[in-house]
Amino acid sequence: MADYVYTAKTVTGNDVTGKLSANSKREALETLHRLSLFPISVDDARRGQITIKLFNRRVADSQVAAILGQLADLLENGVPVLAAFQVLIKQTTHPLFREVLTDIHDQIADGEAIDNAFASHPNIFNDLTISIIRAGAEGAFLEDALRRTSKFLEQQAELKGKIISAMIYPSILFFVGISVVVTLLIFFVPQFMPFFNQMVDAGNPLPWTTQSLLWMRNILLGYGIYFVGAMFFLGVWIQGQLSTQWGIRIMDRVKLRLPLLGPILLNSAVSRFCRVLGTLLENGVPILRSLDISSQSTGNTVLADAVKRSAENVSSGEPLSKPLTDSGIVPPQVMAMITVAEESNTLENVLVNIADTIERNTARQLDTIIRLIEPLMLLIMAGAVFYIIVSMLLPIINMTTLAG
């Protein structure tokens, strides 16, 4: 027996809230009717608890992709929805993911729509996944939607894995380089301090490189702990701002202006938009509804706002390409293909092809950037060590020259 929280109206029209225990949502509704209450909303009290637990332990995208693919296979082979979820629950080894699937099963059993059941767990299923499942449920192509989502998540997980693997060595170089520089400044430089003091006392000024090095060492020893503390609190503050709509919008704008990464992030968002919109149109979903769903799947509020403005203009009879072009967000080459596709009535096919092309180009660009990071980190580390050594040796060379 589960607990349900409800909001209902009395016979006099007053709103009341409360909690009751029942074996299912249907039984909870019947209980409210017996109490002469007219339910407005009835929700399982466990849902919020599941979300809190999952906040600290995410389920991997590869696991989500596998489950969605298996669900598509079961539904395509005629297995009823509830029976399919029971199969998935039994074979899922991740305890928290099993709990989520159980909750989705219970919601569907209580009459909830499958897309709403998935949407009640945003920490597991992202906006893109929920948007495509919702479109599939509305357009009667749920199995295809699940399979497409599974394939997309697998591609994303594979790309993320490649990036993480490629970044391991540069990350090690970065931390080793920082450690070497800090160690030299704290333990190596003081060995030369008596010699430097003798030079200054004798009226011989230190080279500017040596003076700058000693200045950096003094800053590190005097204010290093405060700098680390300030960076920690700044990170906490930024993390808090990213939980607000204002912070998300600001961050999305900043992302698009980043050198090198900005165009890649924009192309990724445009690719998601084109793929979802093309899939929806291909399956007969009306264009206004398709634009509404695809705007939620971009992963970037700047592009989402541009798509929503385009939907408003499309509703007044304008073509899709014009408002998107006016927004200045979508790359010109993409807009050129969308314009031609609209004129030839092949928009749904072209959008999917655009998404495939952008994803291939984005993967190549990321691979190039990652390959450049490794030698760049080596150069930076070597340059920092070389600067410290030269700064230490220059006073000795100058003193030798003067003595000679």
Q: What is the pLDDT of residues 17-46, one digit of tens each?
A: 877 777 666 677 778 777 777 777 777 665
pLDDT exceeds 80 at position 48: no
How many other β-carbons are positioned within 10 Å of the β-carbon of residue 336?
A: 12
pLDDT tens column, 94-134: 888 888 899 888 888 888 888 888 888 888 887 778 877 87
pLDDT exceeds 80 at position 235: yes
Calpha distance 275→145 (Å, rounded): 12
Domains 51-156 and 177-404 are alike in CATH topology: yes
Strand spans (E) along 79-214:
none
Block residue for tokens 């939620």:
296
Calpha distance 357→345 (Å, rounded): 20
pLDDT tens column, 171-221: 888 888 888 888 888 888 888 888 888 877 877 788 888 888 888 888 888
Question: Which residue type does 309 have?
Answer: R
**In the chain, where are the structural domains located?**
2-45, 51-156, 177-404
Calpha distance 68→61 (Å, rounded): 11
Calpha distance 24→2 (Å, rounded): 7
pLDDT tens column, 274-308: 888 887 787 777 788 778 877 877 778 888 888 88
CATH number assigned to the domain covering 177-404: 1.20.81.30
pLDDT exceeds 50 at position 49: no
- Please list, in sequence order, all residues whose beta carbon lies within 8 angstroms of the beta carbon of residue 383, skipping any fewer than 6 positions away: none
**pLDDT of res. 332:** 82
Burial of 275 by CB count in 10 Å (0-12 exposed, 13-18 middle, 19+ buried)? Answer: buried
Q: What percent of the chain has pLDDT over 90?
A: 2
Tell me whether strands 15-22 and 38-44 are parallel, antiparallel or unpaired: unpaired
Give the chain's end-to-end CA distance (angstroms, integer).
94
Confidence class for position 83, pLDDT limits 50, 70, 90: very high
pLDDT tens column, 240-270: 877 777 888 888 888 888 887 888 888 888 8
Phi and psi at 19, nearest 5°, equal -135, 140
CATH number assigned to the domain covering 51-156: 1.20.81.30
Two tokens, residue 249: 């919008």
**pLDDT of res. 319:** 72
Query: What pTM does this model have?
Result: 0.66
Two tokens, residue 163: 């990036």
**pLDDT of res. 56:** 42
**pLDDT of res. 233:** 92
- SS3 of residue 142 by DSSP: helix
Mean pLDDT, the chain, rounded, equals: 80
Compare 87 and 278 and report the one with higher pLDDT: 87
